Amino acid sequence: MTTRRLIRALEPRTARSFADMVAYIVWPLAVMVVIQRIWWSLADPTPGRFLALYDASFRFLNPHTTAAASEALSPGAIILTAPWAVLVPDQARWVELALSVLALLGAWALLLRLLQVPIRSVLAPVFLLAGFYCGPVTDTLLTGDLGAFVLLALVAWLYLTVHGNQIAAGVTLGIVVALMPIFAPLLVVPLLQRRWRETVLAAVITGAATALVWIRLDGDGVGISALGGVDAADRSFFALAEYLHFPAWLTVGVAVVIAVGATAAVTLAYTRQRHNEVLFVLTASGVLVLACCLLAPESHGNSSIALLPLVGSVVLVGSVVRVWPAWLAIYGFGSDENWYSPHLGGLGAHIEALRVPAGWLLLLATICAVLTAAAARAGSGVGVGERQSRHEAPGTELVAKVGLVK
């Protein structure tokens, strides 16, 4: 009897529903992709980007060293990596990789809770598979970048601000801006929600981190981003304009249009989505991150990791990424595909140089178009994003008809 029970327990279960079938397919794939990305990351024990971070941590703990900074890093990045300098580089890399994987898994779990998607839903392994398979996450693990910590802090802030914990949300938002000062416009989101304490606390934490690092290092090696590096190509709009040989007046004009478009998109999101707080904070923060990536003095493809919460909002009713142009844009900046070709070398090089900033531009334009169209239809009734109750489980609507949520 005991043997028969053991055999039944070990026997692979046959899917009895469409949801079970998809889950049984996606979960093994997701787990194997996670394992493969970790395995792949071990191919280079100390990648160049990690060594730059290690050098910054060593200089922070030993400010009187004569070594010059190899590249500029944000104050948050320097403080975060400071403990690594007590270890040798090989050991520090193992610690950084383990913490990065845990941060990514933590961000995945928090995003599921933010979107009210149960862990037993088939969307859980889909999110895990897509997250570790996408280009920004893969690059973060391979290069030893700090994108995992940026993503975790960003998702934690979104989760805490939605649940009304202003103090904790202010702390996490301060960490986000300290790590990525180019994302400082995110401070506008709690201001629109009239959460002054959250904004003030975030600004104080960012200012304190900046002052500490600046005083200790005399401003040497202090930058505005924790991602990228000197070896990464600049993907900002200004780099794109230079690549395409835009005249100065056209570059300035398009930059102004981008800034105005982002401002209009955030305003429309507040007008149309403020009754659905989850949808609003995901849309507004995503738009601001897009604008920052495009208009920063220097921006890199790894910054796209901060757009994963916006991409995940596709499960919400009224999401701005529920249209096909948005996913064409997401493919542009989120894929890990290589378009270089020995037969079409010139064309492949152009695609590689353009696909990330073009993806950012297309997604921003798509969001502006979707929100403008929703505002134009406002006279005919309440928008779908406002019909949804704040306490409704948003992830269920996408897959309820095919029974993918248990």
The per-residue pLDDT for range 122-170, each reduced to its tens digit, is: 899 999 999 999 989 998 888 888 889 999 999 999 999 998 888 999 9
Is 36 part of any domain? Answer: yes
Say how many domains are in the chain: 1
Is the pLDDT at 186 greater than 50, yes or no? yes
Is 11 part of any domain? Answer: no
Spell 52-67 as b/e; 16+ CB within 10 A means b. bbbbbbbbbeeeeeee
Q: What is the pLDDT of residue 274?
A: 78
Question: Where does the pLDDT of residue 399 fall: very low under 50, low under 70, confident under 90, or very high at 90 and above?
Answer: very low
User: 255 CB contacts (<8 Å, ≥6 apart)?
Assistant: 237, 238, 295
Q: What is the pLDDT of residue 176?
A: 93
What is the rounded radius of gyration, in angstroms, for the C-alpha atoms of the chain?
22
Is 87 part of any domain? Answer: yes
Residue 347 structural domain = 20-380
Residue 68, token pair as written in the block: 């010059």
Asked whether 302 and 195 are in contact (CB, 8 A), the reply is no
Q: What is the pLDDT of residue 194?
A: 87
Asked whether 176 and 154 are in contact (CB, 8 A), the reply is yes
List helix spans (H) across 115-247: 123-133, 135-143, 147-162, 166-179, 188-192, 196-217, 237-243
Q: What is the pLDDT of residue 2?
A: 67
Is the pLDDT at 387 greater than 50, yes or no? no
Spell 121-156 as b/e; 16+ CB within 10 A means b. bbbbbbbbbbbbbbbbbbbbbbbbbbbbbbbbbbbb
Task: Count helices and strands (H / E) in the chain.
Answer: 19, 0
| DSSP state letters, 288-353 | HHHHHHHHSSS--GGGGGGGHHHHHGGGSTT-TT-SHHHHHHHHHHH-------SSSHHHHHHHHH
Q: What is the mean pLDDT of the chain?
A: 83
- Give the integer Cα–Cα distance in Å for 285 and 309: 9
Is 386 part of any domain? Answer: no
Q: What is the pLDDT of residue 21?
A: 83
Determine the 3-state secondary structure of 2 from DSSP. helix
Q: Which residue has the higher pLDDT, 67 or 193?
A: 193
Is 338 part of any domain? Answer: yes
Q: Which residue has the higher pLDDT, 5 or 312?
A: 312
Residue 217, token pair as written in the block: 């290092």
Q: Give the percent of the chain with pLDDT over 70.
A: 85
Four-residue CA torsion sign, 357, 191, 391, 174: positive
Question: Where does the pLDDT of residue 272 fall: very low under 50, low under 70, confident under 90, or very high at 90 and above?
Answer: confident
Q: What is the pLDDT of residue 380?
A: 61
Q: What is the pLDDT of residue 390?
A: 42
| DSSP state letters, 6-34 | HHHHHSPPPP-SHHHHHHHHHHHHHHHHH
Is 399 part of any domain? Answer: no
User: 9 CB contacts (<8 Å, ≥6 apart)?
Assistant: none
Placement of tokens 């928090």 in the chain: 110
Question: Where does the pLDDT of residue 229 fall: very low under 50, low under 70, confident under 90, or very high at 90 and above?
Answer: low
User: 237 CB contacts (<8 Å, ≥6 apart)?
Assistant: 251, 254, 255, 258, 294, 295, 357, 361
Is the pLDDT at 385 greater than 50, yes or no? no
Is 396 part of any domain? Answer: no
Is 325 part of any domain? Answer: yes
Four-residue CA torsion sign, 355, 361, 365, 366: positive
Closest CA to 162 of 139, 193, 136, 185: 193
Q: What is the pLDDT of residue 285?
A: 94
Q: What is the pLDDT of residue 232?
A: 62
Q: What is the pLDDT of residue 396?
A: 44
